[in-house]
A and B are shown apart, each in its own frame.
Chain A
Amino acid sequence: MSQTATMTGQPAVAQDTSGPRGPRPKPFFTPKKVILYTVLVFFSLYYLFPLYVMVVTSLKTMPEVRFGNIFALPTAPNFDAWVKAWTSACTGLNCNGLAPGFWNSVKITIPSTIVSIFIAAVNGYALVNWRFKGSEIFFSILIFGSFIPYQVMLYPLVMITREMGIFGTLQAVIIIHTVFGMPILTLLFRNYFASLPQELFKAARVDGAGFWRIFFEIMLPMSLPIFVVAIILQVTGIWNDFLFGVVFAGTQNYPMTVQLNNIVNSAQGTPEYNVNMAATVLTGLVPLTVYFVSGKWFVRGVAAGAVKG
């Protein structure tokens, strides 16, 4: 017994085990802790309240909503409002619900995410490993440009896309998202590639691999984490976009956020608050799913967004 004790690194000298050891255990309910948790719970209620109200209202019937108690749980929860929001809620004369908007958002988000991330990844790689004259200057302007209000560049961009014949189409929105996603994504990839060991790149160069081969066969397989961060950033960002969708997509391709706003804010007749809230929940569902599934990665993406500039 004593032998094993010495072997596992326990002090061979018998310790005084008569009295309690270690720091004095703190009682859980100190006044300081009570205040601490009270404040935290209070704030949590502020953050959770809208989500609760949104979901609860969407499960009620209109007479129940008119009863006027937004705290109350629905007496008979049903998804009628959800179905109506999805299939037949009206914007003006159009009564197709949110579904077309959802699919438009999907059609916008997927290609925009792929294109913007691919371009930014290659760009970041070129900026780290294949610098050319002026590349750093362009990069600096790119980062500073990300702070220019969109309204400043909006009208000329409308003219350019109109000139290209793509104004009011999905292509236009995809290009716009690629352009305005570029600063943050390039920064993200540039910083990531710069943190990889240069020896890998040099060894591949010595072995005769070129620009694209090194990118696809060495850099890409090593950069899965940063791709996850970039995808989270772009999917939530593009899904939540309103301005570019309303300007560039054209009426046929309005993304979900735009249709949601139209359904709620330009409704004719008596507003159906339960349908409105169901539509709101539906629109928030995609980014919320991304958020809750990705957990820590979302925080990383947000923090990465924060170091911009």
Chain B
Amino acid sequence: MAETAVRMEAGERTTTRPGFLSRIFLHNLPAKIAALPMVLTVLVVFVGCTIWTIYYSFTNSKLLPTGKFVGFDQYERLFATSRWNVSVWNLVAYGSMSLVFTLVIGFILAVLIDQKIRFESAFRTIMLYPFALSFIVTGLVWQWIMNPTLGLQGTLRNLGWENFTFDWIANPRMVLFALLIAGLWHGTGFCMVLMLAGLRGVDEEVWKAARVDGIPTWRTYVSIVLPMMRGVLITAIVIIGSGIVRLYDLVVALTNGGPGISSEVPAKYVFNYMFSGGNIGQGLAGATMMLLTVLIIMIPWAYLEFGGKGRRA
């Protein structure tokens, strides 16, 4: 439809067949002007900057990105740096726990909310409001709650529970769980909203059929409804996953990487090397590894979603 309009316009404008250049630039001109920011964003930022970063990650740039080509040196150094390896391990550990728990809690909450309960919107409001807050606020509140002397631990000890321990934030082996509690607080409500939309999208007939067949409710959820929500699940996994790879603000606010380097994450490593470490090559190599991680998540999804040539619009 739009094409017809466009063709009509082309017919009006030029009686002779327009030249190649004028067809590219002048034809449908206002639309091209309107789309210019998008074209620039795509070409300069998403494609240009990404290629630039990948290229310069193979140089020995220090304070300025002017170094000479050194092959995979930066990557070898990267994986020989304990801080980077800790970061990657943290991301894998935190990421897998966060993904699983977010999905499971999100789904359970959605199922509970979907039981025709009273005060549904009140519960939903309470569960989603953390998502409106920034990671900085989230991190700082939980930092205060987990404060070993005056926070939850101190309070319960003062109240008489002498050996209650909740010092995860100061304990290198538990700090990831502290991060997890704050992260789940922020993100599970969002997952719940997605899942609830998915649940509500399931046809009522399916439920009736399952009831007639005498299938228990939990079984219907697990074996029938969940597979039907495949689209929502994949969307949720992709969004949560790409959020996890970006994890930065929460760590900065909650632990700032500490104690020691025990809660460092790749995004923070990259940031520090780029802007305060004076070793741009390292930062860029780390950034490229982050990109690679996202691609590993994205490509199977893109293949599933768009692979079957226009299977989905």
Contacts and interface: CB of A to CB of B under 8 A. Distances in A.
Interface of A: 36-37, 39-40, 43-44, 46-51, 53-54, 57, 65-71, 119, 122-123, 125-133, 135, 138-139, 141-142, 144-145, 147-157, 159-160, 178-179, 182, 186, 198, 201-202, 205, 210-212, 236, 239-243, 247, 257, 260-261, 264-265, 273, 276-277, 280, 283-284, 287-288, 290-292, 295, 298-299, 302-303, 305-309
A211 B31 contact: yes
Interface stretch (B72-80, B96-104, B185-193, B203-211): B185-193
Contacts of A132: 6, 27-28, 31-32, 35
Contacts of A280: 137, 140-141, 144
A139 B8 CA distance: 24
B193 A302 contact: yes
Interface residues of B, number: 101
B149 A153 contact: no
A182 B39 CA distance: 11
A141 B46 contact: yes
Nearest to B217: A32
A142 B190 contact: no
B195 to A, nearest CB: 10
A305 B3 CA distance: 29
Contacts of A241: 134
Contact of B50 (A46, A148, A284): A148
Interface of B: 1-3, 5-6, 8, 24, 27-28, 30-32, 34-35, 37-39, 41-42, 44-50, 52-53, 65, 109, 112-113, 115, 117, 123-138, 140-145, 147, 149-152, 154-155, 158-159, 185, 189-190, 193-194, 197, 235-236, 238-239, 242, 245-246, 248-249, 252-253, 256, 267, 270-271, 274-275, 280, 283-284, 286-288, 290-291, 294, 298, 301-302, 305
Q: Identify whether the interface residues of B are mostly helix, strand, loop, or mixed.
A: helix
Contacts of B48: 156
6 contacts: A130-B6, A151-B271, A152-B287, A154-B271, A198-B2, A299-B128
